[in-house]
């Protein structure tokens, strides 16, 4: 397989993941405000609500508006997660709770960096491959990457909230390619979502790889060989 000009990577679920679970973090911070909710219930509610949420993308808005739109997007989702369980009205000050929660996810504390990531990024840099991120994330990603020690590996960071398009929309991939002056045929994309990452990249002609993370020994990493040709792939670090 020919070496690409650029390798794009997804962020959450590919480079780093949530430490524990979203539900556990929500539960812990809610308890600080006197609201006791089981982590498991919150996790189930989050997993039910998140896929039904609109894309984290704000087309045709001024850049100065985006931080507030990001905040309100997550506030709406978080409120729905608690309301789904009948706990939203129990908060004496939901705004204070959500503000703390939102700031927490802008730090390294709730995230875990997968151990195979930095060795793979270093090797690809040595090989002269440009690196970029394409993620359905918000502008907090810049601080998270900095605190995880990842920001210096990436020439570009393309996120849905700032581009006005979210994966699998081809537009976000096109914007990322333009930053590298690269054709789809000269790019690879790695991510953990078959729809957003694999199918989204493939729709534009980008070579795509689907990485499957797990907490057990079955976790596939960036450093193992390419798998089958049906779309469930991991990427070799020595390509």
Question: Looking at the domain assignment, is residue 97 inside a domain?
Answer: yes
pLDDT band at 222 (very low <50, low <70, confident <90, very high): low
* 134 touches 8 (CB < 8 A): yes
* Statement to judge: residues 48 and 26 lie in one domain: yes
What are 2-61's pLDDT values in tens digits? 889 999 999 999 999 999 999 999 999 999 999 999 999 999 999 999 999 999 999 999
Cis peptide before 168 (omega within 30 of 0): yes
What tokens appear for 205 in the block?
């002609």
Q: What CATH number did the domain enclosing 61 receive?
A: 1.10.150
What are 89-138's pLDDT values in tens digits? 999 999 999 999 999 999 999 999 999 999 999 999 999 999 999 999 99
What's residue 214's pLDDT?
Answer: 66
How much of the chain, in percent, has pLDDT values that exceed 70? 89
- Tokens 């790889």 correspond to 209
Q: Considering Cα of 124, then 130, then 164, then 233, what sign does the dihedral take? A: negative
Average pLDDT, rounded, for the chain? 90
* Statement to judge: residues 117 and 198 lie in one domain: yes
pLDDT band at 217 (very low <50, low <70, confident <90, very high): very low
What are 226-238's pLDDT values in tens digits? 333 333 334 444 4
Across the range 54-77, mean pLDDT stands at 97
Q: Which domain holds residue 28?
A: 20-104
* Statement to judge: residues 116 and 202 lie in one domain: yes
């Amino acid at each position: 397989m020919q070496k690409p000009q650029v390798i794009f990577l997804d962020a959450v679920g590919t480079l780093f993941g949530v430490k524990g679970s979203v539900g556990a973090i929500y539960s812990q911070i809610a308890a600080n405000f006197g609201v006791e909710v089981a982590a498991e219930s919150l996790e189930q509610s989050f997993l039910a609500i998140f896929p039904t949420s609109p894309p984290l993308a704000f087309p045709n808005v001024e850049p100065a508006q985006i931080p507030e739109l990001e905040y309100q997007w997550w506030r709406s989702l978080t409120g729905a997660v608690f309301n789904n369980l009948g706990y939203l009205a129990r908060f004496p000050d939901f705004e204070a709770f959500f503000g703390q929660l939102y700031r927490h996810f802008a730090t390294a504390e709730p995230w875990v960096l997968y151990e195979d990531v930095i060795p793979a990024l270093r090797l690809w840099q040595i090989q002269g491959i440009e690196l970029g991120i394409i993620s359905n994330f918000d502008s907090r990603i810049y601080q998270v990457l900095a605190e995880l020690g990842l920001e210096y590996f990436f020439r570009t960071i393309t996120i849905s909230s700032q581009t006005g398009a979210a994966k699998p929309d081809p537009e976000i991939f096109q914007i990322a390619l333009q930053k590298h002056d690269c054709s789809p045929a000269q790019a690879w994309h790695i991510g953990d979502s078959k729809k957003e990452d694999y199918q989204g990249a493939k729709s534009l002609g980008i070579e795509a790889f689907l990485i499957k993370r797990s907490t057990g020994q079955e976790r596939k990493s960036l450093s193992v060989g390419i798998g089958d040709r049906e779309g469930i792939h991991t990427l070799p670090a020595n390509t």
